[in-house]
Amino acid sequence: SKGGYPHFMLKEIHEQPRALVDTLYGLSSDPTLREASKIMAEARRVFITAAGTSYHASLHFAVALSKIAGVLATPFVASEYEAYLPVVREGDVLIAVSQSGETMDTLKAARAFKERGAKLIAVSNVVDSAIPRESDIALYTRAGPEIGVAATKTFTTQTLLLSFLVLDYALLRGAILKSEYDEYARELSRASDLAAKSIAWSEGLAKKVSEMLRLKQSMYYLSRGVGLPTAMEGALKIKELAYIHAESYPAGESKHGPIALVEEGFPVVFVVPRDVYYEKVLLGNIQEMKARGAWIIGVAPEDTSLGEQFDLFFRVPSSHWLTTPITHTPPMQLLAYYTSTLKGYDPDKPRNLAKTVTVE
């Protein structure tokens, strides 16, 4: 049932605070998280693979692992596994992330890595689905069934789970102290409250902005570093649901080509993580877009120094950079939802898409 909402997607966006609490609770009592950390700690190399939204969560994992544990993971799109296979040997580990646990591209990548001797860690939302069944160990988000074709609550819960995997692994390896672990964990334990605020603060504006956005054919979603996976997720949502061409890339790349498309009124969403470094480097990128007449939509912490730069400002709660996917994704989900419905589309069943892609 849609629980009083007009669409499953809107219901599932609003379920995120609950899904995050449940996932957090599940993790706190689950010894498999430590077992997964041990497999990673014993591994020579860490690969992580997925498709679509789950791939964006995987990118968040890779950035967090580098910044917190000082370890490199290789993320790749599951259907591209063939390019990575020649280097895979016993002693490697592959983390396969799949909401449904049934995506054929991801399953094929997992099988191929396993055949070459890699250990498998599954991250899924569906207990005993194909990928967890074929893995050495399975970690589960507790988002509950996701009916809308577009992934929403499964993305934010995946990033929460994967952030905890990074922390547990970093602690096990001695890359962080217990006191540092506790501090990060405290930030992550605010996830539900952060998502609830982000949704409440942005819903009205998302509705309003959709009226202008529905007339646009093309747009950019830009960020850097820890904000980039979230910007990529924003672009995927507007593409899937509102059928607006959207491209996401690191903001620093603008001047290397994409800025050629920018003219008066071209929408550019900037995802700004809470971090003075990112505020500083993104300021230049915002200004170069503004100089060409771009319509600047900021998704940024309420206390950002960049507020005056934005034509439209989606305020999100101020929190640690590790929670960027949780604070910054909801406004973009809502923007895609309201633009889709305003254009007369069904956001629960976007054209040409299936919830689970079981073919290669």
Catalytically active residues are 355
Residues recorded for the chain? 360
Tokens encoding 57: 């969560």
Nearest approach, Cβ of residue 81 and ligand F6R (Å): 14
Q: How far apart are CA 176 and CA 69, in angstroms?
A: 7
In the stretch 251-290, what mask flags binding to ligand F6R with x, by CB under 6 A? ----------------------------------------
Reduced to 3 states (helix: H, G, I; strand: E, B; else coil), residue 43 is: coil
In the stretch 124-143, what mask flags binding to ligand F6R with x, by CB under 6 A? --------------------
Nearest approach, Cβ of residue 54 and ligand F6R (Å): 4
Nearest approach, Cβ of residue 5 and ligand F6R (Å): 18
Q: How far apart are CA 297 and CA 293, in angstroms?
A: 13
| From 46, 65, 130, 150, residue interacting with ligand F6R (rule: CB under 6 A) | 150
User: Which range touches ligand F6R (CB under 6 A), out of 2-10, 13-21, 98-106, 298-306?
Assistant: 98-106
Tokens encoding 38: 């041990």
Burial of 173 from C-beta contacts in 10 A (0-12 / 13-18 / 19+):
middle
Q: How far apart are CA 328 and CA 315, in angstroms?
A: 9
- Cβ-proximal residues to 342 (8 Å cutoff; 6+ apart), any chain: 210, 211, 214
H/E stretch holding 248 reads strand 245-250
- 151 binding ligand F6R? (CB under 6 A): yes
| From 15, 22, 240, 275, residue interacting with ligand F6R (rule: CB under 6 A) | 240
Site size with ligand F6R, rule: CB under 6 A = 16
Nearest approach, Cβ of residue 101 and ligand F6R (Å): 7
Strand segments (E) across 65-204: 73-77, 92-98, 119-124, 137-140
- 99 binding ligand F6R? (CB under 6 A): yes
| From 106, 135, 198, 341, residue interacting with ligand F6R (rule: CB under 6 A) | 106
14 Rama class: left (phi>0) / alpha (psi -120 to 50) / beta: alpha
- Helix, strand, coil tally for the chain in percent (to 5): 55, 15, 30
Q: Which of 350, 310, 346, 352 minimizes the C-alpha distance to 331?
A: 310
- 357 binding ligand F6R? (CB under 6 A): yes
Nearest approach, Cβ of residue 257 and ligand F6R (Å): 25
In the stretch 188-227, what mask flags binding to ligand F6R with x, by CB under 6 A? ----------------------------------------
Adjacency order of strands within the sheet including 119-124: 73-77, 45-50, 92-98, 119-124, 137-140
Nearest approach, Cβ of residue 41 and ligand F6R (Å): 26
| From 49, 53, 135, 339, residue interacting with ligand F6R (rule: CB under 6 A) | 53
User: Which range touches ligand F6R (CB under 6 A), out of 48-56, 62-70, 252-260, 336-344?
Assistant: 48-56
Provide the binding-site residues for ligand F6R, judged by CB under 6 A. 51-54, 98-100, 103, 106, 149-151, 236, 240, 356-357
